[in-house]
Each structure stands twice: as C-alpha cells, then as structure tokens.
C-alpha cells in the first residue's frame, strides 16, 4: 500500500500554508480539497501584521499588498448620528515600536490570499491541491494512519504517518479522532452580509464604519467603491434571502442619507459560532484553523490564527520526520497554539456580543453609554496599544512553552518565546532587513556585538559560537565593516543588548533562546539537550 509522510485535508489558507512549510523542508505530503474550484468570494478579509511578516519569509509580499488596501481610519455612528471620525496617522511610530515592516493590517479578499499562497506553493512543490477529493475514512493505529480518498467514482487507499485537518468547522479529521471535543455554541441571531458598490454622500476615504443603534452594521472598504456590509439580521423571522434593498433600507435607517448601494456582488445569510477543541492533537491526527477554532469575525483573527497554526506545526512535523526530534516534540504544537486559540475565542466573543447582542443590557451599553465611553477609549493611548497588540497578533508569544528559554542575568524586553522583532541592516548587498535572514525557514543564530565600549569583535563572537553546531550564524554589529551593520544600534536597543548577546531564532521566527554572550554556554547546553546539534 502506498505511504506518504503527511496528508493535509483542506486547501484553504491554513492548508496551503502548511503545504508550503512542509514542501520547503522536503517532507513528502499530499493535500486534498473537497471543493472542485477555488472560491472567488471575499470571505475572510484581514491579513494582520504578524501574518504579513510570516508570509514575507516565503518571498515578496508586495504582490499581495498591491492587490489589497489598508484601512485609513475608523468612523462610528450611534443612534443615527456621527460620533467619531478618526484618520490613522503615520505608521512609522508603530513600525519602530514593534520592530515591523508591516504595522497596518491589509484588507484583501481570501481569494487573493489563497492566490498568493498557491503561487508560493507552486514555486516549491509539485504536490498541488487535489481538488474534488474527499477523505472518506481516516483510521489511526500505533504505526500510522490508514486513509481512504474518493474522487468521483475513484477510490484510493493508502497509509501516512500523520494527518492534519485544515478542513474547516465541519472537519472530517476532527470527526475521525476519538478524543477531540468541539465545545461551544452557536450565536442565536442570524447574520446578513452584502458585498456591493457604494456612492457615499461624503467620501469615507477607505475608512471602516461601525454603525450602532437598533441593531449594528459594520462597513468595510474592499476597493475604491466596493464595500462589505454585515450585521445581525433585522428582517425578523423569514426564510427568504436578503436583497440589496434590505441593506439599503437598514443603512438609511441607521445612517440616514449617507450612502447609495448598487451592483450586489455577494449576498448571504448565516449563523456564527464560538467553538474550540479540547486539544489540537489526537495521536497522529492534528487540527489547524477552523477545524480547531471557529469564532466571530470580530477583529479579523480567524484566517490569521489558522495560518499561524500551520506555521507552528509545519516545522515541527519536519523536525520529527527528518529524525531530528522525538515524536513527543509534536506535543508542543498543542501546548503553544491551544492557549492562543482560547484567547482569540474569548476576546472575539466579548467584542462580538457587545456589538451585536439584542438583549436590553447590551443595547443600553452600546447605544447610551457608547457615546460617552467611546471618545474616552479612543483618546487613551494605552487602550489603543492594548487593542493593537491583540488585533495585529504581533504580541503572540510562547513564553510558557517548554521548548523556549531565556539566559540567566538577561533582562531585555525580548524573552524566550517572543516574536523576533525586525529592523534595518546594512549587509554585503546593501540595505536589507533582519527578517531577510529568516527566509531559509531554518534555525538562525544572531550574535550582537554590543554597543560602545562593550563591543565584541568578530573573532570573539565566532569563538563564542563555535560550540553551537552547523547552523546559520549572523553577526549584528554596531560598527561598520563587521557582519551586518545595525546603524544607530536600533536593533540592539530593540532586543536589549547594550552588552554582547545572542538570539537563537526558531524556523517560525520566534525566539527559542536569548541571552548575554558571556553565558552562551547555556545555549550550547540547551541545544545539546534538545538534540539540535547534528552530526
């Protein structure tokens, strides 16, 4: 019977990302998708800053950025009156503070994101999605997984070592597991959606709008004159599908005379849920994306969380399949990603309930306290930053993970398990970015020279790192003509290295171990213990 390493079920953004991660590490896989065609519907819209950073490892993301747009601000209406109209300022401060080249979210249809990922997959693999193919049977045992696939009248049986379910809320893989529990509930209200063209009375200049009153309506700019409107149903009990006129009537009711809708592209009604699995792993079966967590679209978290599930899982599967780690290493996927999923479920539920609930308390808070509280919140920079850290996903970290650590006597802002911030470097080929060094999708060791009188020479750095094995080593120098020049020492300051130090970066661009150079022996011991120095 034929055998492969990994079967991926589902070829949306989550499945495609996992395929890229595996293909880039020469893991033998197949990816199947029940849909015959790629959907042209916009569906998920937001590509958050952290996701943009991680996609940058695959190549130039300008192609995706050029097909997307960035929101220019936020406008809110309450009780038929405009309340706030905020235009976002320069992104430079955010970029510096968080060490990112992508400080703003992108508004791009899911079709565009899938197109970008599909092209990247074609560049690294001949194993492309097998469309119109379903997993009819998935049965695991101690040595592998037996799978039956069906395409039309053709049935195929084969074995694989692992199966990953990226097949959405009705996951076949989740149903095949004996220990998966999908806990949560469906929201009681029905929701309506419309993508269409609009002619505004006053230009909104790409701003997102939150319109509250007797109900709620969210307006998201998709293109120059194309928007998405979505909200809890105002139609009462009816079996009919929504029409463009329904949305026009609701817009006129909640923001009178502000916009004229035309040319509907997509009209839909649906129910939303807030559910999550008890574990992302059951033996040789793994779940990622909507198969593991489904929630409201509040904050634009869903697709991004799924993509980052796959990035976390992909390199770990490769480590095990390439005999670099014990299979128990795969337990860290659930240990790291499950808390992230739980946080997203809880926060999106709170936001969504306040925004859409039709009970008396929520309506009162939204419509009568909102006009008082909203201006205070938007003027509070600390609250803004807290909201940004969550929505951007730049603050996701794994500090409590068993496979990260921070060296003794190091008290810098970046700790083991944190995202590795980005910054500008000047190298042999001119100006570039620190994250350019992560495009090999492998481990990287960054050696920081330190600042001023604390400067360590290239010879001292290389000698210190000599026991760290055959990995990519890069010197980040505060002086010219040595390694990569950190002009002005901005990266040294971002990581907290006045004195010489090191950062051991995982393949998913998170910090595995960080510390001062005079304690690099702790890194050597860590690497030996975790079998990361190979013959």
Q: What are the boundaries of each domain within the chain?
A: 3-70+105-186+274-355, 74-103+188-271+359-396, 405-529
Instruction: Using the predicted structure, report yes or no on whether residue 396 has a pLDDT greater than 70.
Output: yes
3-state percent helix, strand, coil for the chain, nearest multiple of 5: 35, 30, 35
Over 90: is that where the pLDDT of 367 sits?
no
What is the mean predicted confidence (pLDDT) over 169-189?
95
Dihedral sign (CA 518, 520, 522, 525): negative
Q: Given a cut of 50, is residue 532 above it in pLDDT?
A: no
> Is residue 375 pLDDT above 80, yes or no?
no
Q: Are 1 and 275 in contact (CB under 8 A)?
A: no
Res 368: pLDDT? 65
Pick the CATH number of 3-70+105-186+274-355 from 3.50.50.60, 3.30.2130.10, 2.102.10.10, 1.10.3720.10: 3.50.50.60
**DSSP for residue 242:** P
- Architecture category of domain 405-529 in CATH: 3-Layer(aba) Sandwich (3.40)
> Closest Cα partner for 165 from 151, 152, 153, 182?
182
- Reported as a single tens digit per residue, the pLDDT across 312-357 is 999 999 999 999 999 999 999 999 999 999 999 999 998 888 777 7
- Strand 273-277 with 281-282, pairing: unpaired
Looking at residue 417, what DSSP letter applies?
T
pLDDT at position 163: 99
Choose the weakest-confidence range: 27-31, 165-169, 447-451, 459-463: 459-463
Tell me what percent of the residues of the chain surpass a pLDDT of 90: 70
Residue 210 pLDDT greater than 70, yes or no: yes
> Do 99 and 493 contact (CB within 8 A), yes or no?
no
Q: pTM here?
A: 0.94
Cα Rg of the chain, angstroms: 25
C-alpha dihedral over 154, 157, 163, 164, to 10 degrees?
A: 0
- Residue-level pLDDT at 381: 66
Give the model's confidence band at 467: pLDDT under 50 very low, under 70 low, under 90 confident, else very high: confident
For the chain, the first-to-last Cα distance in angstroms comes to: 33
Pick the closest to residue 105 from 165, 50, 44, 186 (CA basis): 50
Q: What would the pLDDT profile of 71-124 be if each residue is shown by its tens digit?
A: 888 888 888 888 888 788 778 888 888 999 999 999 998 999 999 999 999 999
Q: Is the pLDDT of residue 533 over 60?
A: no
Split at pLDDT 50, 70, 90, the class of 143 is: very high
Percent with pLDDT over 70 in the chain: 94
Average pLDDT over residues 378-401: 84
Q: What are the DSSP calls for 93-162, one per residue? A: HHHHHHT-S--S-EE--HHHHHHHHHHHHHHH-S---EET-EEEEEEE-SS-EEEEEEETTEEEEEEEEE
Write out the H or E segment, with its range, that includes residue 340.
Answer: helix 331-356
Per-residue exposure over 81-112, b if at least 16 CB sit within 10 Å of its own CB, e if not: eebbeeeeeeeeebbeebbbbbbbbbbbbbbb
Nearest CA to 243 out of 282, 194, 308, 170 is that of 194
Comparing 220 with 382, the larger pLDDT belongs to: 220
- pLDDT of 442 higher than 60: yes
What fold characterizes domain 74-103+188-271+359-396?
D-Amino Acid Oxidase; Chain A, domain 2 (3.30.9)
Return the pLDDT at 534: 35
**160-169, 195-204, 392-401, 504-513: least confidently modelled range:** 195-204
What is residue 535's predicted lDDT score, i.e. its pLDDT? 30
Question: How high is the mean pLDDT of the chain?
Answer: 91
**Residue pair 417/484 in contact by the 8 Å Cβ criterion:** no
How far CA 335 is from CA of 309, 330, 391, 449, 497, in Å, comes to 12, 9, 22, 34, 30
User: 33-37, 86-90, 321-325, 367-371: which has the minimum mean pLDDT?
Assistant: 367-371
What average pLDDT does this structure show over 295-321?
96
Beta bridge partners of 274: 185
Q: What pLDDT score does 42 carry?
A: 66
Read off the pLDDT of residues 229-257 as tens digits, 9 standing for 90 and up: 999 888 887 888 999 999 999 999 999 99
Residue 389 backbone phi and psi in degrees, to 5: -60, -40
Can you give the pLDDT at residue 101? 94
């Amino acid at each position: 019977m034929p055998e492969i390493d990994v079967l991926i079920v589902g070829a949306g953004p989550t499945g495609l990302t996992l395929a890229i991660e595996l293909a880039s590490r020469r893991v033998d896989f197949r990816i199947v998708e029940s849909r015959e065609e790629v959907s042209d519907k916009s569906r998920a819209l937001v590509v958050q800053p952290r996701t943009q950073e991680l996609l940058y490892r695959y190549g130039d993301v300008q192609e995706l950025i050029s097909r997307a747009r960035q929101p220019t601000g936020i406008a809110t209406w309450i009780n038929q009156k405009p309340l706030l109209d905020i235009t976002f300022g320069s992104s430079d401060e955010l970029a510096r503070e968080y060490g990112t080249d992508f400080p703003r979210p992108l508004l791009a249809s899911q079709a565009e994101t899938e197109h970008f990922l599909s092209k990247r997959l074609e560049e690294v693999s001949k194993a492309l999605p097998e469309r119109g193919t379903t997993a009819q049977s998935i049965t695991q045992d101690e040595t592998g997984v037996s799978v039956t696939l069906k395409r039309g009248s053709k049935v195929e049986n084969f074995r694989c070592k692992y199966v990953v379910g990226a097949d959405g809320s009705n996951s076949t893989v989740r149903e095949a597991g004996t220990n998966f529990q999908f806990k949560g509930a469906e929201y009681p209200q029905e929701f309506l959606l419309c993508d269409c063209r609009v002619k505004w009375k006053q230009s909104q200049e790409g701003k997102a709008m939150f319109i509250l009153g007797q109900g709620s309506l969210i307006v998201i700019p998709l293109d120059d004159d194309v928007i998405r409107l979505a909200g809890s149903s105002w139609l009462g009990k009816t079996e009919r599908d929504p029409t463009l006129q329904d949305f026009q009537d609701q817009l006129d009711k909640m923001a009178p005379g502000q916009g004229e809708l035309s040319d509907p592209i997509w009209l839909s009604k649906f129910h939303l849920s807030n559910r999550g699995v008890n574990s992302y792993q059951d033996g040789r079966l793994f779940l990622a994306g909507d198969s593991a967590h489904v929630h409201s679209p509040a904050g634009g978290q869903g697709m991004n969380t799924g993509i980052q599930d796959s990035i976390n899982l992909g390199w770990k599967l490769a480590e095990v399949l390439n005999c670099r780690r014990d299979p128990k290493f795969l337990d860290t996927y659930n240990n790291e990603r499950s808390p992230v999923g739980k946080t997203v479920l809880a926060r999106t539920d709170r936001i969504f309930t306040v925004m859409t609930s039709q009970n008396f308390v929520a309506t009162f808070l939204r419509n009568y306290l909102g006009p008082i509280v909203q201006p205070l919140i938007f003027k509070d920079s600390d609250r803004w930053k807290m909201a940004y850290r969550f929505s951007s996903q730049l603050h996701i970290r794994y500090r409590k993970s068993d496979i990260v650590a921070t060296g003794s006597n190091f008290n810098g802002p970046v700790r083991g398990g944190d995202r590795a911030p980005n910054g500008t470097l000047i190298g042999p080929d001119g100006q570039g970015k620190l994250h350019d060094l992560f495009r090999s999708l492998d481990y990287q060791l960054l050696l920081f020279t330190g600042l001023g009188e604390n400067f360590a020479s290239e010879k001292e750095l290389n000698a210190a790192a000599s026991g760290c094995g055959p990995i990519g080593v890069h010197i980040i120098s505060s002086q010219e003509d040595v390694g990569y020049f950190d002009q002005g020492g901005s990266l040294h300051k971002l990581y907290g290295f006045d004195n010489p130090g090191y950062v051991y970066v995982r393949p998913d661009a998170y910090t595995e171990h960080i510390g001062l150079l005079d304690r690099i022996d702790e890194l050597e011991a860590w690497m030996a213990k975790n079998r990361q120095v190979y013959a």
